[in-house]
A and B are shown apart, each in its own frame.
Chain A
Amino acid sequence: MKKHSLKWSTIYLAFVFIILYAPIIYLVIYSFSAGKTMESFHGFSFQHYMDLFADTRMITIVINTLLVALLASLLATIIGTLGALAIKDSHGKWRNSLMSLNNVLMVSPDVIIGASFLIFFTVLGVRLGFISVLLSHIAFSIPIVVLMVLPKLNELSPTLVDAAYDLGASRWQTLTRVILPAIGPGIMAGYFMAFTYSLDDFAVTFFVTGNGFSTLSVEIYSRARQGVNLEINALSTLMFIVSLLLVISYYFISQHAGRRHHLVTVKEGDAQ
């Protein structure tokens, strides 16, 4: 009985995994096709990768995307860590309302975030482009950083901090020598998550970009509308490999640090 059910479950799981990975593998395979469509394979070729590397617009956009992601997640990590420290120090009602406000952007649909930011930037007169996209990415990445850092702060024993003060450490010394090293892994995890959020975002960027500034998601959207272009397949293969490496290295680092759950739990708030 037990064995029988296990077999069925294996088949079911295999089926789910096939569905999950079929589109990705499909993209990867056709990126090596010498043909021009995703209809039939025309023999192995690196042609589309060559096209990709020769496409200066695409390379500029990749640079833009990385720049926004690195910078936005850096600033979001700083502000988010400070926010986590502030939340940690607050009490009762304050703490609860801070947490709820923190989570508003986590649960809001991207369309709402994008539309409301668009109104906000228009009211302020911020020119749509690099700056508006950067600000939005910082804004929607901050709550995730807070959620990653806060548990680490909660683990930190208050006696340790008190001991530092008792030994005559200044506020700055306590922060840099005691608190930050202790919550370091949380900060790193926060940065990593903010980075992937930023790279992955389409909807918010779509609303707040303008004046010719574009990120990868937005560019893929407009190119996908012009039809199948195997250069996009080549690009997605490269991106798949990069994400694979990122996730695997993160998985091992976090496992090494004894926090295997982290990566997994945090994806929860990110449906679309």
Chain B
Amino acid sequence: MKKLLSAFVGILVLCLLLAIGDYTMNRQTSGGGSHTLTVYNWGDYIDPALIKKFEHQSGYHVDYETFDSNESMLTKIRQGGTNYDVVVPSEYTVQRMKKEHLLAPLDHRKLPNLKYIDPQFLHRDFDPSNHYSVPYFWGTLGIVYNDQKIAGDQVAHWEQLWNPQLRNNIMLIDSARDVFAVALITQGKSVNTTSYQQLKQAQDHLKQLTPNVKAIVADEMKMYMEQGEAAVGITYSGDAREMMSVNHHLHYIVPTEGSNIWFDNLVIPRTAKNKQGAYQFINFMLKPENAAQNARYVGYATPNWKAKQELPKKVTDDQAFSPPHQTMRHLQTYHDLSLKTLGVYNDLFLEFKMFVK
């Protein structure tokens, strides 16, 4: 009995020590106090040097917390309890947050650097007068190919993916809306369609793609494309740039017939505690030299025209990442769809994955 009892107490003490350790680790990473600005952003989506610079200039302490999907971020904001001052949602999530009254309207007078944003990225339909959001980075959905395995003109258009030559050579991103976007655009439909019939037709079309599909993967696509595991990958421009920096045989194409274009935006939640600091931070990030530094670090395309001029020509002239005006006109953003419609997308996508090859 004594042995049992001492084991019991020993384990309890150990638990207590671990809990204390846990607590102190958390304290280290998230400070506190009134002079704090809490930024809630995607992982590795800002140059840490810029945070230091901002802290230095403004005197605020910046808490930088990260999330890995719009949905998990939204759940946290909805649940309350935490007070984020600046958050970085994608466009369809801005729309949803607006609907749910989670955002504070922006006073443009406090954001003089807004003038550096290229007008083509303002007044998009998810936030028509940029009343709630300021674009941070933008990107596209497109095709990455390996020039050792296939020529670029073989995969310049979505419909070429169905070519039997590409048998077992395509990697798809594991995301219902993106994969359906490919099929819908091929069939000349909107990527935001709510028509069950159109979606069903898109799914039928996708089923014919299955012999060519090698795998349906998420983040791991980067690794596999870098290793040359497949000839073609359907992915986002930012991931594509990362792959290309490792494997020089990879290239990125946005088909001229259209694709998805997405924006990540800076917003201030209604529950923000330090709005003053939030404006300062957004304005700081809009400053061309900072935006340029950030773009160099993150590798995504900046909507800041002045910052773009400061970036190397090689980057800004790359048609893949800044598609020509002709292509830009055909790019579509995702709209916030109802839960029910999203359910249909997801169910049909799962059925497509189940489809026996």
Contacts and interface: CB of A to CB of B under 8 A. Distances in A.
A and B associate? yes
B178 to A, nearest CB: 16
Nearest to A39: B227
Interface in B57-112: 68, 72, 75-76, 79
Interface residues of B, number: 29
A226 interface: yes
Contacts of B153: none
B14 interface: yes
B342 interface: no
B356 to A, nearest CB: 21
B15 A67 contact: yes
B12 A226 contact: no
Given A56-B29, A64-B22, A176-B1, A70 B223 contact: no
22 contacts: A56-B25, A56-B29, A63-B22, A63-B25, A66-B18, A67-B18, A70-B11, A127-B79, A180-B1, A180-B4, A184-B1, A184-B3, A184-B4, A188-B7, A211-B75, A225-B219, A225-B220, A226-B220, A226-B222, A227-B219, A227-B223, A228-B223
Contacts of A227: 219-220, 222-223, 226
Interface string B1-25: 1011001100110110011011001
B233 to A, nearest CB: 14
A187 interface: yes
Interface string A206-238: 000011000000000010111110000000000
Contacts, number: 61
Contacts of A96: none
B4, B8, B219: residue with the most chain A Cβ atoms closer than 10 Å: B4
A181 interface: yes
A59 interface: yes
B218 interface: yes
A247 B18 CA distance: 23
B26 interface: yes
Contacts of B4: 180-181, 184, 187-188
Interface in A18-66: 56, 59-60, 63-64, 66
Given A71-B15, A177-B1, 13 more contacts: A60-B22, A67-B19, A70-B15, A74-B8, A188-B4, A188-B7, A191-B7, A210-B72, A211-B75, A211-B76, A222-B68, A224-B220, A226-B220
Nearest to A65: B18
Given A67-B15, A176-B1, A184-B4, A225 B218 contact: yes
Given A56-B25, A56-B28, A63-B25, A70 B219 contact: no
Contacts of A63: 18, 21-22, 25
Interface of B: 1, 3-4, 7-8, 11-12, 14-15, 18-19, 21-22, 25-26, 28-29, 68, 72, 75-76, 79, 217-220, 222-223, 226
Contacts of A222: 68
Interface of A: 56, 59-60, 63-64, 66-67, 70-71, 74, 127, 176-177, 180-181, 184, 187-188, 191, 210-211, 222, 224-228
B26 A60 contact: yes
Nearest to B76: A211
Contacts of B14: 70
Contacts of A180: 1, 4
Nearest to A66: B18
A270 to B, nearest CB: 22
Nearest to B20: A63
Contact of A181 (B1, B11, B79, B226): B1
Nearest to A211: B76
A112 to B, nearest CB: 18
Contacts of B18: 63, 66-67, 70
Contacts of B8: 74
A233 to B, nearest CB: 15
Contact of B22 (A67, A184, A210): A67
Contact of B219 (A188, A191, A226, A228): A226
A64 B18 CA distance: 8
Contacts of A127: 79
Please provide the 5 A-B residue pairs with the shortest distance between their CB atoms, ordered closest to farther: A227-B223, A67-B18, A226-B219, A225-B220, A60-B25
A160 to B, nearest CB: 15
A86 B320 CA distance: 70
Contacts of B219: 225-227
A187 B1 CA distance: 11
Nearest to A188: B7
B77 to A, nearest CB: 12
B250 to A, nearest CB: 15
Contacts of A225: 217-220
Contacts of A60: 22, 25-26
A249 to B, nearest CB: 14
Given A184-B3, A226-B222, A227-B220, A74 B11 contact: yes
A224 B219 CA distance: 9
B259 to A, nearest CB: 24
A63 B20 CA distance: 10
Nearest to B25: A60
Q: Which residue, B15, B68, B217, has most C-beta atoms of chain A within 10 A?
A: B15
B241 to A, nearest CB: 15
A97 B25 CA distance: 46
A191 B8 CA distance: 10
B69 to A, nearest CB: 11
A70 B21 CA distance: 15
Contacts of B28: 56
